[in-house]
């Protein structure tokens, strides 16, 4: 068995319906040298009882509580991340886990092996891997067998992530300690505007290397009011046209751009490459479009690509930035 230690970071909140299946899928991994940290955000259902039961019988599982003043899904994750950073965790690799998915049995083993290959090729730099995934509904029925085949979450240019949050899902990632140490995020009242997975992916794009693995490693659950089915996943032109809302699109792009600027500013990188990206985001207009063309950055769908270019060209995002 590989002696590399993997720390898994999970945020929980009122997850009684699915968290038991998720934790069991981690316990049943073919790779056993892991530590699972579950940070609960004040659950009022049976979630705490369930995760405590697991912790009592498996020493690899530790239950923590978000006792900070910053709550919500990203607030909980960022508090857990900061806690792991401050404790100078001795793990070699790190993974994020949602409370309601199911990990496929070989996920950790596959990603540790892939990570070691990349580290041999690119030593002593931050590295992040993310994978394809399958989608299931609330009853574990398969809905999509490959998100990448249907929506293309692989990137032609990793810089695409600075213009659209449509690629990296934290629940499929693994990253090394060098990346954990590079991330410098100060938690404040706006914490829930900044997704942790996209933040890590952007930092890694600028400081190291990011790679996509085509093998699905999780069953990603869509449930409740957001249950995924063939209609809601329809990526056809007619479906997208009906959803077009310029004002909402401007707000969405502004949030992505604000997130990207926070990453760039946190790293204090003074290269012409990063300066050009920052200027493209701040200026928009013709210079923004020229930057996308120069870097060959485009969305994975024609209408979405045109939407990005339209919002950037007209600068409609600026009043929300």
Q: Which among 191, 226, 261 is the end of a domain? A: 226
| Residue pointed to by tokens 């399958």 | 134
| Residue 181 lies inside a defined structural domain of this protein | yes
| Residue 279 lies inside a defined structural domain of this protein | yes
- 143 shares its domain with 249: no
CA dist 252 and 250 (Å) reads 5
Query: pLDDT digits over 183-221, tens only?
Result: 999 999 999 999 999 999 999 999 999 999 999 999 999
Report the chain's C-alpha Rg in angstroms. Answer: 20
- Taking the whole predicted model, whether its pTM rises above 0.85 is answered as yes
- 77 shares its domain with 124: yes
Q: Which among 226, 257, 285 is the end of a domain? A: 226
Query: pLDDT digits over 111-160, tens only?
Result: 999 999 999 999 999 999 999 999 999 999 999 999 999 999 999 899 99
Closest to 280 measured CA to CA, from 270, 290, 271:
290
Q: Cite the beta strand spans of the chain per DSSP E.
A: 6-12, 34-40, 61-65, 93-97, 102-103, 127-131, 134-136, 142-144, 174-176, 209-213, 218-221
Percent of the chain with pLDDT over 90: 88
pLDDT tier at 223, thresholds 50, 70, 90: confident
CA dist 114 and 52 (Å) reads 32
| Residue 303 lies inside a defined structural domain of this protein | yes
Angle between helices 272-283 and 285-295 (to 10 degrees): 140
- Kindly state the DSSP code that residue 173 receives in the 8-state scheme: -
- Kindly state the DSSP code that residue 87 receives in the 8-state scheme: T
What's the pLDDT at 202?
98
CA dist 29 and 95 (Å) reads 14
Q: What is the domain extent for residue 257?
A: 237-320
CA dist 115 and 107 (Å) reads 12
Query: pLDDT digits over 10-24, tens only?
Result: 999 999 999 999 999
| Residue 169 lies inside a defined structural domain of this protein | yes
CA dist 75 and 53 (Å) reads 25
Query: pLDDT digits over 43-88, tens only?
Result: 999 999 999 999 999 999 999 999 999 999 999 999 999 999 999 7
CA dist 34 and 1 (Å) reads 12
Q: Which among 207, 226, 245 is the end of a domain? A: 226
The answer on pLDDT for 240 being more than 80 is: no
What's the pLDDT at 257?
98
| Residue 231 lies inside a defined structural domain of this protein | no
What's the pLDDT at 12?
98
């Amino acid at each position: 068995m590989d002696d590399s230690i993997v720390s898994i970071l999970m945020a929980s909140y009122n997850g009684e319906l699915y968290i038991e299946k998720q934790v069991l899928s981690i316990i049943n991994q073919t790779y056993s040298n892991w530590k699972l940290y579950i940070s609960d955000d004040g659950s009022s259902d049976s979630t705490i009882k369930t995760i405590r039961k697991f912790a009592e019988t498996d020493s690899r599982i530790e239950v923590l509580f978000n006792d900070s003043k910053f709550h919500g899904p990203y607030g909980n994750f960022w508090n857990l991340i900061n806690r792991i950073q401050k404790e100078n965790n001795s793990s070699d690799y790190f993974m994020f886990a949602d409370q309601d998915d199911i990990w496929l049995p070989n996920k950790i083993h596959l990603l540790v092996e892939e990570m070691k290959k990349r580290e041999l090729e690119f030593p002593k730099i931050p590295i992040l891997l993310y994978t394809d995934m399958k989608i299931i509904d609330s009853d574990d029925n398969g809905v999509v067998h490959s998100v990448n085949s249907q929506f293309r979450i692989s990137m032609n240019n990793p810089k695409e992530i600075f213009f659209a949050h449509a690629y990296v899902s934290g629940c499929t990632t693994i990253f090394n300690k060098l990346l954990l140490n590079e991330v410098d995020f100060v938690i404040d009242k706006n914490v829930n505007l900044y997704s942790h997975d996209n933040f890590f992916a952007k930092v890694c794009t600028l400081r190291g290397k990011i790679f996509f693995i085509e093998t699905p490693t999780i069953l990603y659950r869509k449930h409740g009011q957001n249950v995924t089915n063939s209609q809601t996943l329809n990526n056809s032109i007619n479906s997208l046209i009906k959803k077009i809302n310029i004002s909402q699109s401007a707000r969405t792009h502004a949030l992505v751009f604000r997130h990207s600027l926070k990453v760039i500013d946190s790293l204090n990188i003074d290269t012409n490459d990063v300066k050009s990206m920052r200027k493209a985001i701040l200026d928009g207009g013709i210079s923004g479009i020229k930057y996308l063309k120069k870097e060959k950055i485009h969305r994975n769908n024609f209408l979405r690509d045109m939407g990005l270019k339209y919002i950037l060209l007209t600068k409609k995002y600026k009043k929300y930035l």
